[in-house]
Structure 1
Amino acid sequence: MKRWLPIAILLTSALYIFEIRPEPQAFKFFFKLIPMWLILYYAYSHMPSAKKCVHGLMLTGLFFGMLGDGLIMYWFVLGLAAFLIGHLFYTAGFLVQWRFSWLRFSSIVPIAIYSFIMGRELVISLMEQNNAGLVVPVLFYIVVISLMGWSAIMTSNRGAIVGSFLFLISDSILSWNLFVSPISYADLLIMTTYYSAQFIIARSATLPEQREMKVHP
């Protein structure tokens, strides 16, 4: 069963992205969550039976990502909050795997520059649209997901890094499309990068012990 899970995740993700129509919404909601259920099961089933703190943190992050997936379809702020909590758990899980180097540490500079530019554009657009109430939650979310991406870099785990930055790309497209200006094929770009991000993060969460064994023979 385990070896077929990535194929099942790919197929259900493609089904949702390319075939499921917006209406009825409950049907769309159900199919949107199926890939995340499978990703959660994939992560859990590939982790060691004696799970460590990092495994629990990453599983909890995936769980809140699944909640955010569903909630954001009906309550944007609640969905945003669920994703934010998920990112906090991811960040904690990445910090547990911290492997310091000055080169990796310095990556905080370009991440901060990108976050500042994105945040400024979003704030301008939100104020112009009389959505001032969203400014603080959106800015807080940008800070948290940026820290999540940086903490992933500090693990030196390529899966964690790629997954986190795909998540950052997905959320950047989503927020720009919602609040700044329309992006062609936005839904396709958002969901393909999002499902890819969650699966790659889930896969990276199953490997910390194996990585330690390679680093410390």
Structure 2
Amino acid sequence: MKQKILISLIILLGIIYIFFIPAEPANIKLSFKVIPMLLIIWLASLQKAPPNTSYKNWLLLGLLFCMIGDATLQWFLFGLTSFLIGHICYIVAFVQLKEKVIAKPAAMLLLLYGGFMIIWIAGTVFKTGDHILAVAVVAYIAVILTMGWTAIQTNTKLATFGALSFIFSDSILSINMFITDVPFSHALIMVSYYGAQLLFAISISYYSVIRKKVLE
């Protein structure tokens, strides 16, 4: 019951932040942005950990670094680095629960999408002369697609849809930041972002049940 209430609260506060909190004052906006992530971390901490893995710990660490990225994204490289570390934590978590080899069509789609985004986004940044940022963008795209790859290999919908939702969120963010304004970008980015993190948090107890059955 507590977890259902917490999930409802996360959704409610996420909606309030996305659709009702004005851009100014910025510190109030930032506070409301971070609160849903704090609650998601709390929700994740309440989940029963899968036996014989450190999946929960790595996932919690990933959520924490993503929350730091949320709070520091105005300093873009610092925020990007925090999200990068968060994704690496997710990769470590997902690798522990690998159930299958990724299907060739899915692998091809991820590789093609990654190559396209590197050429489009990082290439555009490179042309501005900010070569350090361009390299950082390439690294980030590579890491988040690896996160998606390893999530698919867990063979579960929670991890897969969470990862794909995260990739969608960051894609809209990148296009909006470096290429052109995207209509309703704020709502698209944050709904998919909160959704991804919530799915990751819920996945802990799901994996716990599956892992227990396997060990039995």
Given the two structures, how large is their TM-score scaled by the length of structure 2?
A: 0.93
**What do the CA deviations read for 1:93-127 (whole angstroms, capped 9, x no partner)?**
000001123x5366322101100001100123213
Structure 1 distance, partners of 2:72, 2:50, is: 31
| Consecutive unaligned residues in structure 2, runs of 5 or more | none
Indicate the residue corresponding to 1:36 in structure 2. 37
SS at match of 2:119: helix
Structure 2 distance, partners of 1:70, 1:202, is: 19
Contact 2:110 2:145 in 1 (8 A): yes
Q: Which residues in structure 2 correspond to 1:116-131 (within 5 Å)?
A: 116-131=115-130
Q: Which residues in structure 2 correspond to 1:27-106 (within 5 Å)?
A: 27-48=28-49, 52-72=53-73, 74-101=74-101, 104=103
Given the two structures, how large is their TM-score scaled by the length of structure 1?
A: 0.93
Contact 1:40 1:202 in 2 (8 A): yes
Question: Does the C-alpha gap of structure 1 residues 105 and 47 become closer, same or farther in structure 2, counting only changes over 3 Å?
Answer: farther
- For residue 58 of structure 1, what is the amino acid of its counterpart? L
Structure 2 distance, partners of 1:132, 1:206, is: 42
Contact 1:105 1:154 in 2 (8 A): no
Structure 1 distance, partners of 2:48, 2:68, is: 21
Contact 1:152 1:161 in 2 (8 A): yes
Contact 2:158 2:203 in 1 (8 A): yes
SS at match of 1:130: coil
Q: Identity, % of aligned pairs?
A: 34
Q: Which residues in structure 2 correspond to 1:198-213 (within 5 Å)?
A: 198-213=197-212
Structure 2 distance, partners of 1:135, 1:187, is: 23
Contact 1:149 1:165 in 2 (8 A): yes
Q: How far did 1:180 drift? A: 1.1
Q: Which residues in structure 2 correspond to 1:55-204 (within 5 Å)?
A: 55-72=56-73, 74-101=74-101, 104=103, 107-204=106-203
- For residue 2 of structure 1, what is the amino acid of its counterpart? Q
Q: How far did 1:168 drift? A: 0.1
- For residue 22 of structure 2, what is the amino acid of its counterpart? R
SS at match of 1:153: helix
- For residue 84 of structure 1, what is the amino acid of its counterpart? L
| Consecutive unaligned residues in structure 1, runs of 5 or more | none
Structure 1 distance, partners of 2:49, 2:91, is: 21
Indicate the residue corresponding to 2:4 in structure 1. 3
**What do the CA deviations read for 1:118-177 (whole angstroms, capped 9, x no partner)?**
110012321333333311000000000000000000000210000000000000000011
Structure 2 distance, partners of 1:208, 1:96, is: 11
Aligned length: 215
SS at match of 1:3: helix
Q: How far did 1:10 drift? A: 0.4
